[in-house]
Structure 1
Amino acid sequence: MSLSRNLVAFALLVLAVLSRFLPHLPNFTPVLAISIFGGVYFSNRLVAIVLPLGIMLLSDLFIGFHELMPVIYGLFIVYTIVGMKIKDSLGLGSLAIAGLAGAVSFFVITNFFVWVTSGMYSLDAQGFAQCYIAALPFFKYSLLGDFTYISVLFGSYYLLERKGFVSAPQAA
């Protein structure tokens, strides 16, 4: 029995979304992996982009709204577009680069905005350094979460495809 690509991709994403609501380490979340995965496997670009934004909005309804939402949501749109761009050259290398670039860019960009907008740090070189140093533990968990979820999502999909449970993509 062969299931449709979209159905299998959606089921894997539902599992990843549910894991967002389980107890986890700070920043150890599936959203970056979901963004890349959706960009690769959803043929409908709008669905691929809206999915991580919907996950974040739903989470933020429970966790709380904050000033960095536009920055964070914008980054997840970028990661979805990255997934769309690596679709044709998908492999361990492209996934590793996308995951690492995503984690690093998230760390650099969001912490820049924390430094500039939060009022927690002085707006000088010392405050800048303090902000990034304080964020290092979160970066470690973010990196670990991104690579864990990228491995689980893409690995599971690959295995299901190889075992014939999901139909392989047709050449365009």
Structure 2
Amino acid sequence: MSLKKIHTRTIVLIALMLIVSLGRLVSYNFPYTLSNFTPIGAIALFGGAYFTDKWKAYLTVFCTLFLSDILINYLYTSKLILWYSGAVWVYLPFLLMVFIGTFIKKVSVGNVAFAALIAVLFHWLFTDLPFFYGAQYPHTLGGYALSLVAAIPFERNMLLGDLVFGAILFGGFELAKSKYTVLRTKNELAV
């Protein structure tokens, strides 16, 4: 594969991810009904599935989350916040979602939906661990269960966001690949 094809494909992947990340503003504008309806999970799965150099997927997802966090935090606080105390624990599940995306070998509605479901389940179980929610719930198995139940609406919205934005990303890129061979990998051109 020529350097130009790699370069063009990478630029298109990053541009799509950055553009779709603006979808985080949807949950900002509708904080109660669409809280956690964001594209970040879909972006992570998309990056894991399409970047041939996986480090680019991890870096792009991290940067996308970081930059959109700066914007969202500014909208909420009117302050420029570059990093916050729980950021590592927020970012870690999304980086794992990139890993989950690497298992999408054939893009189909079923494969992307299954990956989105697994990613959201992991996010739900991880981010509601007792040491993340402070004193809001008891640090017991019962408290963890209460936290999981309370998080169901947020995780439902996350799954919906992953499915909607995943359809845009995966569907859009597959359509673009069918029209522009420069976006295909060497293996896809050989078939």
TM-score, L = length of structure 1: 0.83
User: Is the 2:14–2:60 contact (alpha carbons within 8 Å) kept by the matching residues of 1?
Assistant: no
Aligned pair partner of 1:60 in 62, 69, 73: 69
Q: Distance in 2 between matches of 1:129 and 1:151?
A: 32
Q: Which has the higher contact order (CA 8 A, sep 6+)?
A: 1
1:15-164 equivalence runs, <5 A: 15-22=19-26, 23-24=29-30, 25-62=34-71, 63=73, 65-86=83-104, 88-113=105-130, 117-164=133-180
Q: Distance in 2 between matches of 1:120 and 1:148?
A: 31
Q: Distance in 2 between matches of 1:166 and 1:9?
A: 12
Q: Distance in 1 between matches of 2:10 and 2:149?
A: 41
Q: By how many angstroms is 1:13 displaced?
A: 1.3
What 5-or-longer segments of structure 2 have no aligned partner? 74-80
CA RMSD of aligned residues (A): 2.5
What 5-or-longer segments of structure 1 have no aligned partner? none
The verdict on how the C-alpha distance between 1:104 and 1:38 changes in structure 2, with shifts beyond 3 A counting, is same
Count of aligned positions:
169
Q: Distance in 1 between matches of 2:98 and 2:164?
A: 18
User: Is the 2:130–2:139 contact (alpha carbons within 8 Å) kept by the matching residues of 1?
Assistant: no
**Runs of 4+ residues over 6 Å off in structure 1:** none
Q: Distance in 1 between matches of 2:183 and 2:67?
A: 31
Alignment deviations for residues 15-53 of structure 1 (CA, whole Å, 9 cap, x no partner) = 112222343521111111111111222233222101121
User: Is the 1:6–1:41 contact (alpha carbons within 8 Å) kept by the matching residues of 2?
Assistant: no
Q: Quick one: percent identity of the two aligned structures?
A: 29
